Structure 1
């Protein structure tokens, strides 16, 4: 117990002045008051202060005797004791003398004396701070012949939150469901978690809950509820976390996703020898191609949504199916491909030649019809000329002669 200070004498009644009836009770009270006042006077002579440390970090436990020692006073020892989460019973763990520093009740090399004994500075450095270090540390100066002077240094441990933004995978619908969750976990003290939805056009609901973990840390979860429509799909929101261990607020951007199975599947021609399969789905669909319910021929190669033909031949004709699939379902589209028989170039040449022959024939007939082309004797019918005779002379034998006529002009 500290040595009584004469300056406190006027504040306390002499014990022998108490009446016999109350002497026993009041004696204990008076002694306690005297000790309390002496302790307050002793505390006022030592500077310390509270300390806050980041989990896993390093902190200073400050302690200095500010009272000027008299010529007949001397500092004999600086000692430290603690009452913490890991040491719930008061533990004297370190003594400091002018020539040595010594651990008591086991070494803890995380503590380092950084003060100066001759300067009456007993400050310690504590590294690799953990949750068990949180509590009260007492620095005590032993001065001969005056007594002891001490101060308490409360140490709080700050644990930075682990932040997780989770997509709750809502499926397309017309009822409010959980869209996303933002969690600040294992923090000390309790963190603040908010959703910034200022850019949303659709109304949403926010809920928050706080849980204390067995190790004294806290986990806060803030959820976002809304209707999972295509209008809200792709909208941006932000999760904002505040905490004493953070230099500034932490912000995580999040894009709301609405999930749905493949919708209508369309097959379109991409170029002369390829086709493409198109659909809307979230998550994105994968594509499977078949022909007539069987694997594809070797001249046909699937490349995701595209179907590529190495060469178009008649044996590639058939019903092609594209099946679009994601984790929510599947849907198919169909294409019937008909490859004509024969050589393509030969058929084209034959068709052109036939058209030319028909056109030439029609032209000739038209020219002849309108006598633009002259008619020659070989095109005319032969005529017979008869020679007249007298009635008395015998009729000569008829003779026929083919006459070639000039072309009529």
Structure 2
């Protein structure tokens, strides 16, 4: 109103005769009232941020006017449609009408009689991001509009990829942790715990034309047995994530089978033992001929002889293998022919001969002690007379003289 008064004050200063007329004073009052009404009218719209796949409320309404609303028009300028164009109108009788094809994801949730043109957009996609303009057409004041910005958050697709490192002494890539297609970019980092300086990490990001970003963090180290089996974590944070996302990973060092040993489970059962990553597969074979299914049973690493007969005699091989290599172990089987009683008889003879041999060795070893004992016994005095004893001693000495 102050602007209108100022305008007419200037006008009247230039043409004072006209300002004296009553008609002009009435015109001044009308224009002043119109200017006051326009200044009070407000079109209110709120920009919105929503996660991809969610629902966006495009709020838009008018306050401060008593003019008649004749139409509400919506325009958009998005990634999919870069040129600003009308896509929806709302009329008092006809209701909602789409322009250039419909989109069932849009729903009018406002109230025409209350000057409310709010729309609801479901299943929001990246193509929908952009600016939306709602235009209210009033009589007699004309068009009133505001612009609403729709921002999209895109959560990343996350995963850890094992690079399948093999045992060695040079640094290699253990694994990669990826946060793909996020908007805004996500942060990716590793928690390695006690490994400390035994591992190192690198991080790279790639931004695409649709403003999404893929971030890849790599974990490196020397593939030793000591580092095998350690658990680490990849943590993805920021961007569209309200909370951190943690992915656990166990470092696996892969290697071919080590030395193959064959252990004895029982007198007729054997097992092939080795260390490998991934676990080895086992194949039993018999040198020079095939395994007799009726005489042996194979269960993975185990071999069982079903009957202890000489037909099973021979050289058996156990092959342990995985994708990184293979190794073999050998077992020679010999089953003696004859009955068990003959074997026990042979064992008895061997024991008897051992006892006899031990006795002969003992008496031979102690022959000198037996001679000394005999001499001592002969020198013991008896109850006979001294004369007889002297004669006997003289006779004994004579016999011992050469």
Structure 2 length-normalised TM: 0.75
Mean CA deviation greater in 49-58 or 312-321: 49-58
Question: How many Å separate the matches in 2 of 1:254 and 1:42?
Answer: 63
Partner residue of 2:331?
A: 335
Instruction: State the Cα distance separating 1:116 from its structure 2 match.
Output: 1.1
Change (3 A) 1:199 1:144: farther
Kept in 1, the 8 Å contact 2:205–2:214? The answer is yes
Partner residue of 1:84?
A: 78
1:226 is aligned, of 221, 227, 232, to 221
Partner residue of 1:178?
A: 173
Change (3 A) 1:285 1:355: closer
Question: How many Å separate the matches in 2 of 1:323 and 1:148?
Answer: 86
2:160 is aligned, of 155, 165, 169, to 165
Matches within 5 A, 1:310-325: 310-325=306-321
Change (3 A) 1:358 1:202: closer
Change (3 A) 1:113 1:191: same
Matches within 5 A, 1:306-385: 306-348=302-344, 351-352=347-348
**Unaligned stretches of 5+ residues in structure 2:** 11-34, 357-402
Partner residue of 2:46?
A: 49
Q: 2:240 aligns to what SS in structure 1?
A: coil
Stretches of 4+ aligned residues off by more than 6 angstroms: 8-11, 41-44, 353-360
| 1:259-314 deviation per Cα after TM superposition (whole angstroms, max 9, x unaligned) | 11111111110112110111111111111111215432221122111111111111
Change (3 A) 1:119 1:358: closer
Structure 1 length-normalised TM: 0.73
Instruction: State the Cα distance separating 1:223 from its structure 2 match.
Output: 0.4
| 1:119-174 deviation per Cα after TM superposition (whole angstroms, max 9, x unaligned) | 22211011122221111001122222223222211112222211110000111111
Question: How many Å separate the matches in 1 of 2:208 and 2:40?
Answer: 36
Change (3 A) 1:345 1:159: farther
Question: How many Å separate the matches in 2 of 1:168 and 1:75?
Answer: 65
Change (3 A) 1:293 1:154: farther
Question: How many Å separate the matches in 2 of 1:263 and 1:357?
Answer: 46
| 1:299-357 deviation per Cα after TM superposition (whole angstroms, max 9, x unaligned) | 11221111111111112111111111111111111121211111224422564489689
Provide the alpha-carbon RMSD of the alignment.
2.9
Kept in 2, the 8 Å contact 1:202–1:232? The answer is no
Q: 1:200 aligns to what SS in structure 2?
A: helix
Partner residue of 1:363?
A: none
Aligned residues: 328
Partner residue of 2:117?
A: 122
2:98 is aligned, of 95, 99, 103, to 103
Matches within 5 A, 1:113-262: 113-262=108-257
Residue 62 in structure 1 maps to residue 64 in structure 2: no
Kept in 1, the 8 Å contact 2:40–2:64? The answer is no
